[in-house]
Amino acid sequence: MITPVISVALGGALGSVLRYFVGLVVAFPMGTLTVNVIGSFAIGVVWVHLADRGLQHWLPFLMTGVLGGFTTFSAFSLDALRLVEEGRVTTAGSYILASLILSVFACGAGLWIARGMTT
C-alpha cells in the first residue's frame, strides 16, 4: 500500500509536469490563468466524484498532489506583480480579477456538472 505522503508526492510530480507543459504552449501570463481555471474546475469534479462516493483514499493523490502541483497560486501572485513592475497595471488588475472570478466560477461549474452526472 502506498502511504498518503508518497501518494501526494507522486501526484504533485504529475501535476507539476502537466503545469510545465501548459506553460510551454500557452503564453505568459495566460498559462497560469489557464491552469488555475482548469484546476479549479477539476477540483470541483474530483471532490464530487470521490468524496461523495466514499473514495477519500484518492483525495491526497488527486487533490493535494495532482491538482496542487498543477495549479499555481504562487505563480499567479508573481505574474501579477511582474505585470505591475512592467507598468502594465491595468493588465495586472484584469488578470487578478479574471483569475479569481473565473477560478471560483469554474469550481462551481465543476461541482454543478459533476453533481448532475451523479443523479
CA-nearest of 11, 32, 29, 38 to 20 is 32
Give the pLDDT confidence of 41-62 residue by residue, as tens digits.
999 899 888 877 888 889 999 9
> pTM for this one?
0.79
Give the pLDDT confidence of 5-21 residue by residue, as tens digits.
999 999 999 999 999 99
d(CA 48, CA 4): 20
Contacts of 11 (CB under 8 A, 6+ apart): 60, 61, 62, 64, 65, 66, 67, 68, 69
